């Protein structure tokens, strides 16, 4: 594994921010030399990726991404334009419910019917229990309750795009083709570095898949044991341990039991059935999917914050929690593979413009609401926050003395009683100030629903003003241009 490079770059402009971790100037140094092995060449060829130059990949579930995901895609393209590498995008079409809904901000009547307020609504595109690769294409009707003109326009365009691809062979392919069209429209006639797409459900056609699944067939218990050990090493990664039942273990695979013609969920693969299933009936879940891609299909992988950068891309706490750190540990300890392509992080925050809604401009942020609540709570326990400096100093001195005494000692209990009485005296003396803090916290908390919706960074890029998205693209291209310069 390459030496850690704990650098990152965060740029903020107006209502948007871009995070590259590590910073753009480091990516080229991390780019792995294209492997010369036959498995890598054949895997790339099977996925439609070039074999004569490095490949940089990213990916996500099919759908109309939020700007943070869009930043991954744009970063791949900007990096490739500067380095001559090829770009690739894996469409994660095997996850249950992926792309099945799209959330949007709407306007709804208040309970008294006297006004309207912003709310969170969902447009159903599929079902939550089946992967989009096993669901039919859809023809939704555009909702008319979008909170702003831009949201309503985005919803209308979404349904038009999906209708144009209503004959797609699956919901996953319909969503991805529609998203690709939306990106092309967004950028107009400008020439951009192409990023080739491949689908997770097509990976069974590659030598890399046969190699990985072959190792599972040979010793499924070892696969599961090392998987669970790696997951336990990174408890904040969100990776669930594989189940075990006696000599039978769960494997990180799905059995392709349904199709768009017969929609429905897929079956988890247990070790006692693996020998009876052909490769074409098997689909990799998330960790083996990225493990395969980083081993054979690419030379740098671009994650969002969920996947996180590899150790070669940084070492702060957030990166340590990324789920692909589990992949790295698992693949190394199970298969002895230590040369996975490094991974980096690209993400962005871009919030919708709600200025046309009355009162939106003075809506507090969730952070302001939390701070007001916390301040009101602390003020009831800290006289200094009520302006009572004398009692505040006395409380701190009592707390310091208490910390030096043995637990459950009579002296400790007496000082606790004294500190409690001091606090209650301060609250009585400054009841009006405390009431003001509590009233303000309650008033702000009453707007928490609006605040959460206005502050949300995960609305689809279709609902954003094109000029804001163009600004994000310029931020990304500038970061890589400066790195190349």
DSSP characters over 279-309? GGGEEE-HHHHHHHIIIII-SEEEE-TTT--
Q: Phi, psi at residue 337, to the nearest 5°? A: -85, 120
Over residues 127-143, the pLDDT tens digits come to 999 999 999 999 999 99
- pLDDT attached to residue 320: 52
CA distance 62 to 128: 14
Over residues 35-57, the pLDDT tens digits come to 778 999 999 999 999 999 999 99
Biggest CA–CA distance in the chain, Å, is 80
Over residues 324-353, the pLDDT tens digits come to 999 999 999 999 999 999 999 999 999 999
C-alpha dist (Å) from residue 343 to 99, 282, 318, 325, 347? 25, 26, 14, 10, 13
Are 387 and 379 in contact, with CB atoms under 8 Å apart? no
Reported pTM: 0.88
| pLDDT, mean of residues 430-441 | 90
- pLDDT attached to residue 227: 98
- pLDDT attached to residue 37: 86
Q: Phi, psi at residue 8, to the nearest 5°? A: -155, 165
Burial, 202: exposed, middle or buried (Cβ in 10 Å; 0-12, 13-18, 19+)?
Answer: middle
Coil/strand/helix, residue 189: coil
| pLDDT, mean of residues 410-432 | 90
Q: Does residue 311 register a pLDDT over 90?
A: no
Are 56 and 302 in contact, with CB atoms under 8 Å apart? yes
C-alpha dist (Å) from residue 54 to 57, 63, 117? 10, 27, 50
Name the most confidently modeled range: 72-76, 303-307, 365-369: 72-76
- pLDDT attached to residue 6: 39
Domain boundaries, the chain: 1-356+458-485, 364-446
% of the chain beyond a pLDDT of 70: 93
Over residues 71-115, the pLDDT tens digits come to 999 999 999 999 999 999 999 999 999 999 999 999 987 776 666
Q: Does residue 3 register a pLDDT over 80?
A: no
Give the chain's mean pLDDT.
90
Alpha-helix residue ranges (DSSP H) falling in 261-403: 271-274, 286-292, 317-320, 323-335, 366-379, 389-402
Q: Does residue 166 register a pLDDT over 90?
A: yes
Q: Is 476 left (phi over 0), alpha (psi -120 to 50) or beta?
A: alpha
- pLDDT attached to residue 319: 42
Least confident of 15-19, 148-152, 173-177, 224-228: 15-19
70 Cβ partners below 8 Å, 6+ apart? 183, 348, 461, 469, 472
Are 146 and 106 in contact, with CB atoms under 8 Å apart? yes
Over residues 287-299, the pLDDT tens digits come to 999 999 999 999 9
259: DSSP letter: B
| Helix pair angle (448-455, 366-379), 10° resolution | 140
Q: Does residue 5 register a pLDDT over 50?
A: no
Strands 116-124 and 101-109: antiparallel
| pLDDT, mean of residues 387-412 | 90
- pLDDT attached to residue 392: 85
- pLDDT attached to residue 482: 86
Q: Does residue 484 register a pLDDT over 90?
A: no
């Amino acid at each position: 594994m390459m030496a850690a490079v704990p650098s990152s770059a965060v740029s903020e402009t107006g209502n948007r921010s871009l995070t590259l971790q590590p910073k753009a100037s480091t990516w080229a140094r991390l780019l792995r030399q294209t492997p010369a092995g036959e498995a890598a060449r054949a895997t790339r060829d099977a996925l439609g990726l070039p074999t004569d130059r490095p490949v940089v990949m990213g990916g996500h579930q099919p759908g109309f991404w939020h700007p943070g995901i869009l930043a991954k895609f744009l970063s791949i393209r900007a990096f490739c334009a500067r380095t001559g590498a090829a770009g690739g995008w894996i469409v994660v079409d095997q996850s249950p419910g992926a792309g099945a809904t799209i959330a949007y901000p709407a306007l709804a009547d208040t309970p008294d019917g006297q006004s309207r307020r912003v709310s969170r609504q969902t447009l159903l595109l599929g079902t939550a229990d089946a992967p989009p690769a096993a669901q039919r294409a859809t023809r939704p009707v555009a909702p008319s309750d979008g909170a702003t003109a831009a949201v309503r326009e985005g919803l209308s365009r979404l349904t038009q795009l999906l209708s144009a691809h209503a004959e797609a062979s699956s919901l996953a392919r319909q969503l991805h083709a529609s998203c690709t069209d939306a990106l092309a429209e967004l950028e107009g006639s400008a020439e951009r570095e192409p990023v080739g797409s491949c689908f997770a459900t097509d990976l069974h056609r590659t030598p890399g898949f046969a190699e990985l699944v072959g190792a599972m067939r040979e010793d499924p218990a070892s696969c599961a044991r090392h998987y669970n050990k790696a997951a336990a090493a990174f408890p904040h990664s969100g990776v669930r341990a594989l189940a075990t039942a006696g000599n039978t273990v769960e494997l990180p695979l799905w059995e392709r039991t349904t199709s768009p013609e017969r929609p429905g969920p897929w079956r988890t693969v247990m070790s006692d059935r693996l020998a009876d299933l052909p490769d074409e009936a098997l689909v990799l879940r998330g960790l083996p999917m990225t493990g395969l891609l980083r081993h054979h299909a690419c030379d740098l992988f671009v994650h969002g914050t969920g996947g996180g950068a590899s150790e070669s891309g940084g070492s702060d706490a957030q990166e340590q929690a990324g789920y692909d750190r589990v992949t790295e540990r698992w693949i190394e300890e199970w298969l002895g593979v230590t040369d996975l392509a490094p991974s980096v992080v690209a993400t962005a925050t871009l919030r919708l413009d709600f200025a046309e809604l009355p009162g939106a401009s003075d809506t507090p942020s969730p952070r302001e609401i939390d701070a007001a609540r916390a301040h009101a709570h602390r003020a009831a326990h800290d006289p200094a926050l009520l302006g009572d400096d004398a009692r505040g100093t006395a409380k701190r001195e009592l707390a310091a003395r208490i910390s030096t005494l043995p637990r459950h000692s009579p002296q400790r209990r007496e000082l606790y009683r004294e500190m409690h009485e001091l606090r209650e005296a301060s609250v009585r003396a400054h009841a009006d100030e405390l009431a003001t803090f509590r009233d303000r916290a309650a008033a702000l908390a009453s707007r928490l629903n609006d605040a959460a919706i206005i502050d949300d960074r995960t609305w689809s890029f279709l609902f954003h003003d094109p000029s804001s998205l163009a600004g994000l693209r310029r931020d990304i291209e500038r970061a890589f241009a400066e790195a190349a310069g």
